[in-house]
Structure 1
Amino acid sequence: MPPTLHLRLALAGLCALGAQAQEQVRCAVDYGGEVRNLSAGPSADPYQVGSTAIGSYFLFRIVFETVPRETAAIKLYTYADRDEGPTLIHQASYPYPLRSQSGRYGFTGLQTVYEPMRDGELQYWCHLEGK
């Protein structure tokens, strides 16, 4: 591929990210009665998106991919933070652009994830802001 085509493709991707930059996925995460509000904007590299510690046991991660359009999605991950490393215990994926996000609990609905070791639960729901 000629270098100018690479440059045009890169610029098109950056423009697409810029056009979506005002959009944010916002999640309310409730664990043990403490509600945390987490947010994430579009990411060009989903592998670089970190997770947030929730309590002493959970990790929560929001990945918002807008390009390429064919695989654009909002992905939500919940991990158990174990001594041997994080273990995925819940994943949800929603194609982007979203088809619907009506209702009290946004596009995810109210989700509940249970601790496999301690009988606690984490609840979350997310909505998309901006645009």
Structure 2
Amino acid sequence: MSTACTLSSTQAAPLLRCYATYAGETQIIDTQLSDNPYQIEAIDIGGRFKLKTEMNGHQQTINYIKIYAYFQTSHGDVPIHEASYYPPFQLQSEIIALTPVNRLYAGPLERELQYRCTLQDK
């Protein structure tokens, strides 16, 4: 028995879309299926945070979804959050919330990064 979520051939590829907000500005990060997590780079959010979104799988199969957040310092990126999601996933053409709104605080001034993600067939 496979633990992955397999889509029927009539469905489109899944799309993970995350909305990251810092200092009143929101960035949209779209993630496609990838079978090599080491090729995925973290996205800069306002020069203070980075967000890495990974949807592991191949063709139309999602093995897992992982979301990593980092706080940027002069000494390098500090991991502050990891979220993991495993099948089964609810995939539809309409937008479905995958995560709640997450609020992360880091640094000496406790800066706030908010993010939420959706999953859908695109």
Shorter-chain TM-score: which interval?
A: 0.7 to 0.9
Match of 2:121 among 107, 110, 130: 130
Q: Which amino acid aligns with 2:50?
A: L
Q: TM-score if structure 2 supplies the norm length?
A: 0.77
> In 1, are the aligned partners of 2:91 and 2:120 still within 8 Å (CA)?
no
Moved over 4 A (4+): 18-21
Structure 1's 84 and 105: CA in aligned 2 closer, same or farther, altered over 3 A?
Answer: farther
> In 1, are the aligned partners of 2:96 and 2:120 still within 8 Å (CA)?
no
Q: Which has the higher helix share?
A: 1
Structure 1's 57 and 92: CA in aligned 2 closer, same or farther, altered over 3 A?
Answer: same
Mapped partners of 1:89, 1:74: distance in 2: 17
Q: TM-score if structure 1 supplies the norm length?
A: 0.72
Give the structure 2 partner of residue 81 of structure 1: 72
Return 5+ residue gaps in structure 1 as ranges.
1-15
Mapped partners of 1:20, 1:47: distance in 2: 27
Q: Which has the higher strand share?
A: 2
> Which secondary structure state, in structure 2, belongs to the residue aligned with residue 47 of structure 1?
helix
How much has 1:19 moved relative to structure 2? 8.7
State the identity %: 32
Q: Which amino acid aligns with 1:118?
A: L
Structure 1's 22 and 113: CA in aligned 2 closer, same or farther, altered over 3 A?
Answer: same
Give the structure 2 partner of residue 52 of structure 1: 43
> In 1, are the aligned partners of 2:91 and 2:119 still within 8 Å (CA)?
no
Give the structure 1 partner of residue 3 of structure 2: none
Give the RMSD, CA atoms, in angstroms: 2.8
What is the number of residues matched between the two proteins?
Answer: 110
Return 5+ residue gaps in structure 2 as ranges.
1-6
How much has 1:117 moved relative to structure 2? 2.1
> Which secondary structure state, in structure 2, belongs to the residue aligned with residue 118 of structure 1?
coil
